[in-house]
Structure 1
């Protein structure tokens, strides 16, 4: 009897890949219609078959194993679902990363919202289809699934996957947004001041103000990461373009509130002793004033004002509550049993918080309350579902999971903005090229070209190699420079704001002198200076660091050490050559 041909584990894996590709092909050509394929195996580098490279494949980000099949709570229910790039696009990006780049002028940082979102097109956000109380839960789910599938088909029929940005394709997450919009009296839209035009959807603005007839407050968060003149310019840009929006400037980080009294303009000395769990924030007072102007006398906000005056957050247990997992599951069961919205029902102001992943929604809630009430993380998609926190007995905050709206935003920029998890990025050098074309990365990192020639042109790969050599990043077996690890590290610095890329509103470059001398700019600069002293006194401990400490994890040595440029007294040295 002849011996059987050996069949290795590698061959078995290839066999499974081909089987999955065949199944994907069958789904793509089913009924002759465009089908959105869900890639269930994130550990493999599977792609759509070459003959179907123009069809989108959806990857589940941060997929978690299900320990108990059929369990009521599904840990993957609200996972991020994004388009997955094919091998051809990845190969082209790798080739481009080895080519020298040229620095772009400052005007290239000016962004127009309409160019990104194309208002009135198929890229507008999906709206909940009509429903009534006579429908069963199964019927409503089926209607929403059918509507959302048709919504995706319209987008992919008019735009190729390479033209589109990453955007949320998980209908469960969109249901969370619909729910927050329906139950909220005031909508709080949180944006990162570095990329506010990319985080502000005109379609959402029109839905809230014109269809739902509800007030919207735009929060420009993390204002300590941008020059004061740029913050004020963005503030006036949104007021002029979207007149119904209220603007609030905000930033927060873990600190003992008593440290404010230790700051003096003369010596700037700070008591470095910090109590765990306390948050220091700029903007809660302004948020209170905006809400007070909206509700007038319809809701009693005296308790909120007293909390602000105390300056120490909530002290009584009965004035705040954070839902545990059991209560979360109860809310999910009631997800489809809505009543007609009654504004300020029972004398309670309900504030819904929405925004992109990683813009600081959970940190903002902690800053408003004055202490840690919700967990935070650097990883996009950390908030899995709707959460409710009572600020006072008459003010309720609702935290919605981060949602990525459809747009024509550059995917490299989305990675730099922290929208896409860096650990899941397949090609990490292209975003660094995008960054280096707009700010002087070699100067910021204080690195020298490996060829050690002054007139040598830089490429994105050269930057990664130089940084790997400076930090001693080498591969385990061949001891070659670990370019991937270096690129990953640089991307994380960009997301954290240690390599600061800030976009400008249209026309800012020509009117920069006007905004730098604006009275509001001078006032904001003083506030930033005071908060900056607190932040740098403790070397910038963040809410994410605090979360990692509680989990018992330790920062690696390379995460603790930062380039000398980052310790500069001027936090905006890295913006540009200016």
Structure 2
């Protein structure tokens, strides 16, 4: 299994992985941050196995982050599925940008109104998570404090979760992959210390759809992609043609190339001589996908994973 740390092209993968391992080894509790739109796609069972086999009694908690981007019933289904393995908390990080102190909502994520879930700037799920962590503090025979390692893919929301728990902007946050390059230590209170780890992708370079899947997780900066079209082909295969036509105000298209030609013309992305710049159009699509402007979500598997896409 190759450990691939995604950041700028000149970043040391070995250094990223060293930082990551140090967080795992130091932590008593591991918070694994998952994107609610595709929880299994962001889950690293290799790490869970490594933690469980360490013999150190470390705990794992799954955080179903970005729950405002999927239907409520989908969140409920995933919670039921994931809780068969580990404690799982539904979470929405605070999106407040102007205030120094970030707000918490004490409302249950299961009972909060759809309107507040979709439009509130306040964090949801923090109280449940903090209470769970405090229970672990009390359950230790000798220790009265715990170290909590926060892990997950690049740009899955690790730093946002920490900021929301701390109620202040103690970690850098941005839509750029690889923003956290070193482990950061944050004291939540006198008994709980958080460690934010660099984002790491565990995957072999298998080519084809496997690499495109990684690119759709916003693990590589869009401007660094040599081939932005292949992942867009995967997006087109997942979304209905009507959804994309409505989203980008384009006519019916035959394939991904035809779709990108229409988008390039619609957005004014033209080369000299009026030739559509399909690479530039593809980067627009990828940016919309990564930011959640193209709605999608997965459903828990029965015998296989089923992908569902919201139609606009």
TM-score by length of 2: 0.82
Distance in 2 (alpha carbons) for counterparts of 1:496 and 1:510: 23
**1:220-235 map, 5 Å:** 220-235=64-79
Distance in 2 (alpha carbons) for counterparts of 1:374 and 1:416: 24
Residue number in structure 1 paired with 2:228 = 428
1:61 touches 1:424 (CA, 8 Å); kept in 2? no
Specify which of 490, 506, 518 is matched with residue 301 of structure 2. Answer: 506
TM-score by length of 1: 0.46
Deviation at 1:203, TM superposition (A): 2.1
CA distance 1:258–1:437, shift in 2 (3 Å):
closer
Decide which structure has the larger Cα Rg and report it: 1
Unaligned runs of 5+ in 1: 1-55, 64-75, 81-169, 300-342, 450-455, 512-573
Distance in 1 (alpha carbons) for counterparts of 2:133 and 2:279: 47
Deviation at 1:509, TM superposition (A): 9.8
Residue number in structure 2 paired with 1:496 = 291
Distance in 2 (alpha carbons) for counterparts of 1:217 and 1:297: 15
Number of aligned residues: 292
Deviation at 1:282, TM superposition (A): 0.8
CA distance 1:61–1:292, shift in 2 (3 Å):
closer
Output one character per residue of 1:337-375: Cα deviation in whole Å (capped at 9) or x when no partner. xxxxxx84xx33211101111100011111111121111
Distance in 1 (alpha carbons) for counterparts of 2:139 and 2:104: 35
Distance in 1 (alpha carbons) for counterparts of 2:195 and 2:78: 26
**1:148-227 map, 5 Å:** 170-211=13-54, 212-227=56-71
Residue number in structure 2 paired with 1:462 = 258
Specify which structure has the higher proportion of helix: 1
**1:286-301 map, 5 Å:** 286-296=128-138, 298=140
Distance in 2 (alpha carbons) for counterparts of 1:370 and 1:507: 38
Output one character per residue of 1:279-309: Cα deviation in whole Å (capped at 9) or x when no partner. 721111111122133233549xxxxxxxxxx
1:369 touches 1:391 (CA, 8 Å); kept in 2? yes
Specify which of 360, 373, 387 is matched with residue 184 of structure 2. Answer: 387
Deviation at 1:219, TM superposition (A): 0.6
Output one character per residue of 1:156-185: Cα deviation in whole Å (capped at 9) or x when no partner. xxxxxxxxxxxxxx2221111221112111
2:149 touches 2:195 (CA, 8 Å); kept in 1? yes
Specify which of 210, 225, 246 is matched with residue 87 of structure 2. Answer: 246
Deviation at 1:447, TM superposition (A): 2.5
Question: Is the aligned partner of 1:412 residue 2:212?
Answer: yes
Distance in 1 (alpha carbons) for counterparts of 2:303 and 2:73: 10
Output one character per residue of 1:370-422: Cα deviation in whole Å (capped at 9) or x when no partner. 12111112121111111101111221110000010125672112111212221
Question: Is the aligned partner of 1:478 residue 2:273?
Answer: yes
**1:277-288 map, 5 Å:** 280-288=122-130
Unaligned runs of 5+ in 2: 107-111
